[in-house]
Amino acid sequence: MSHSARRLRYVLKRLIQALPIVLAIVIMNFFLLQMAEGDAVDVLAGEAGSATPEYMAELRAKFGLDQPLPVQLAVYLKNVLTFDLGYSFRHEMPVSQLILDRMIPTMLLMVSTIMLAVGFGVLLGLIAATGLNTWRDTAISIFALITYATPLFWVGLMLIVVFSLNLGWFPTSGMENLTMFYEGWDRVIDIAHHLVLPTITLSLFYLALYTRLMRASMLEQYGQDYVTTARAKGVTERRIIFVHVLRNALLPVVTMAGVQVGALIGGSVIVESVFAWPGLGMLAFEALFARDLNLLLGIFLLSALLVVAVNLVVDIIYSSLDPRIEVG
């Protein structure tokens, strides 16, 4: 079997393996949400001001909320298996469309955050590890811990106050300039401009994790025999750090980045809220309080798939970093 065919088969295999997990998530959340008081109709009626019980019953029938639970679940699962995530009760739109709209901002924030957090974390961890127990090491550890321990929203608001209001460097919130509605490259730059503060805020939180991990990983790799071998060959310390140790030390970091993705989608609720970033986290948050069952289940489903997909990518990156791990 050729390499790419094997890889493709591996990807398919992983996706099929993920299927039961994703379905289990959907089913679990379906029942969890049933335990919540009130439904989408209550919320809609409550917002509308006032509605008669008859009207509400009609709405429930329209949403299928009057059916017995197992029937509702069966219908939902049947739809899911035909790639139909149903209609959002609240937005009167196909769930898939709502989620796909939010997918790009979510991915933007997620990818830029991971890149920034991992990039800086690796750098700081590396600097700390090479200067073990010096002031540099201590300062980096403390810095990382402080950024981790400061409540996210506080960091977010402070960044807005300093960089948006006082310095005027970045917009306070949102994803685009709504007076200009740029197009083409200008739009890309505009979005990047809006992305800066949320990314910094969110990655500050994860920075500590990667810094710490990278430092420990570097130290561990530093003690390995192959480093001695490299020295015995007369290789320079520089090359030992950047070629020999770094690549090995990155492995646990890559693994962790994969594990973190799930947390990141959820963990960004606060950042999305503070920066009015139109991501999946806020959508889920709103869907929960609107009891928009279809939408929430859809988000859980797609974010689970997203996590699975990212993990897959991480695995492939991992296997390219570590020849011992074979994809296939």
Partner 1 sequence: MHSFWKRFARNRQALFGLAILGCILIMAATAHLFFPTDPFSLAGQSMSPPGQNGFLLGSDSLGRDVAAGIAHGAKTSLLIGLVATLVAVLIGVIMGALAGYYGGIVDDLLMRTTEMFQTIPSFVFAILLVAIMKPSIESIVIAIAVVSWPAVARLVRGEFLSLRNREFVQACHTIGMSDVRIMLGEILPNCLSPIIVIGSLMVATAILIESGLAFLGLGDPNIMSWGFQVGAGRTLLRSAWWVCTFPGIAILLTVLAINLVGEGLNDALNPRLRERS
Partner 2 sequence: MRHLCKFALAAVAMSAALASGAAMAQKAGGNLVFIVQPEPPSLAGYLSTSGPIGLVAPKIYEGLFDYDNDLKIAPALAESYDVSDDGKTVTFKLQQGVTWHDGEPFTSADVEFTVMEVLKKVHPRGPNSFREVTSIDTPDEYTAVFNLAKAAPYMLSALSAYESPMVPKHLLEGQDPRNAELGNNPVGTGPFKFVEWKKGQYIRLEKNENYWKEGLPYLDRIVGRFIPDASTRTAAMESGEVMYGAFGAIPNIDAVRLRDTDGFSVTTEGYATINPMALIEFDTTEPPFDNPALRKAISYALDRQFLIDNIWFGYGKPATSALSSTFAGPGLYKDPMPNYVPTADIEEAIKLLDEAGITPDENGVRAKAVLDLIPYGEDWRRAGEYMKQALVPIGIELELRYEDVPTWLKRVYHNYDFAMNVNYFYQLADPVLGVHRHYGTDQIRQGTHFVNSTRYPNPKLDELLVAGAQEPDAAKRGEIYGEIQSILAEDMPVLNLFEMEFLTVYNDKLKGIDVSGLGAYGSFAEAWIDD
Partner 3 sequence: MTRLLDIRGLHVSLPEGAQRPYAVENADFHLDQNEILCVVGESGSGKSLTARAVMGLLPRPHVRVANGQIVFHSEDLATASEPRMREIRGSEISMIFQEPMTALNPVMTIGVQIDEVFRFHEKMSSKERRERALSLLSDVRLPDPEQALKAYPHELSGGQRQRAMIAMALALDPKILIADEPTTALDVTTQAQVLKLIKEMQEAHGTGVLFITHDFGVVADIADRVAVMQNGLVVESGTTDEVLRQPTHPYTQSLIAAVPSLAPRPPRTRSSEVVLEVKHLEKTYRSGGGYFGGKERVVHAARDVTFDLARGETLGIVGESGSGKSTVARCIVRLNDAEAGEILLDGVDLRPLGRAAMRPHRPKIQMVFQDPFASLNPRARVGRIIAQGPILAGANAVTAKKRALELLETVGLDAGAYDRFPHEFSGGQRQRIGVARALALDPEVLVADEPVSALDVSIQAQILQLLDEIRDQMNLSMVFITHDLRVAAQVCDRIAVMRRGEVVEIGPTGMLFEAPRHEYTRELLSAVPGRDWFAAPVEKLAAVSS
Write out the residues near partner 2 by the rule CB under 8 A. Answer: 36-40, 42-53, 55-56, 59, 62, 90-93, 98, 101-102, 105, 153, 157, 160-161, 164-165, 168, 171-176, 178-179, 181, 272-276, 278-279, 282-283, 286, 288-291
Which position among 8, 19, 36, 115 is part of the footprint of partner 1 (CB under 8 A)? 36
- Least separation in angstroms between CB 55 and partner 1: 26
Among 75, 16, 72, which Cα is nearest to 40's?
72
Among 107, 110, 80, 91, which Cα is nearest to 301's?
80
Q: Which is nearer to partner 1, 69 or 263 (CB)?
A: 263
| DSSP class per residue in 23-34 | HHHHHHHHHHHH
Q: Which does 198 bind (CB under 5 to 8 A by kind): partner 3, partner 2, partner 1, none?
A: none
From residue 321, give the alpha-carbon distance in Å to each of 48, 122, 228.
56, 15, 21
Separation between Cα atoms, residue 81 and residue 23, nearest integer Å? 10
Q: Write the binding mask 235 to 264 for partner 3: x where contact by CB under 8 A, - elsewhere.
A: xx--x---xx--xx----------------
Assess contact for 175 and 107: CB atoms under 8 A.
no
Tell me 327's DSSP state. P
Tell me 325's DSSP state. S
Read off the tokens for 76.
């939902």
Helical H segments across 152-292, by residue range: 152-159, 185-222, 225-232, 237-239, 246-267, 269-275, 280-289
Residue 228 in the binding site for partner 3 (CB under 8 A) = yes
Q: Which is nearer to partner 3, 78 or 247 (CB)?
A: 247
Read off the tokens for 49.
């001001």
Beta-ladder partners of 87: 94
- Least separation in angstroms between CB 4 and partner 3: 16
Q: Which is nearer to partner 3, 177 or 319 (CB)?
A: 319
Residue 38 in the binding site for partner 1 (CB under 8 A) = no
Three-state secondary structure readout of 261-307 = HHHHHHHCHHHHHHHCCCCHHHHHHHHHHCCCHHHHHHHHHHHHHHH
- Residue 236: count other Cβ atoms within 10 Å of its Cβ: 11
Which position among 97, 134, 138, 229 is part of the footprint of partner 3 (CB under 8 A)? 229
The SS3 of residue 94 is: strand
- Least separation in angstroms between CB 108 and partner 1: 16
- Least separation in angstroms between CB 253 and partner 1: 16
Residues 289-308 that bind partner 1 (CB under 8 A): 289, 296, 299-300, 303-304, 307-308
Residue 232 in the binding site for partner 3 (CB under 8 A) = yes
Read off the tokens for 310.
């990212």
Residue 161 in the binding site for partner 1 (CB under 8 A) = yes
- Least separation in angstroms between CB 303 and partner 1: 5
Which position among 12, 24, 162, 192 is part of the footprint of partner 1 (CB under 8 A)? 24
Assess contact for 114 and 265: CB atoms under 8 A.
no
- Residues making contact with partner 1 (CB under 8 A): 20-22, 24-25, 28-29, 32-33, 35-36, 132-133, 138, 141-142, 145-146, 148-154, 157, 161, 212, 216, 219-220, 222-223, 259, 262-267, 269-270, 273, 280-281, 284-285, 288-289, 296, 299-300, 303-304, 307-308
- Residues making contact with partner 3 (CB under 8 A): 9, 13, 16, 224-226, 228-236, 239, 243-244, 247-248, 321-324, 328
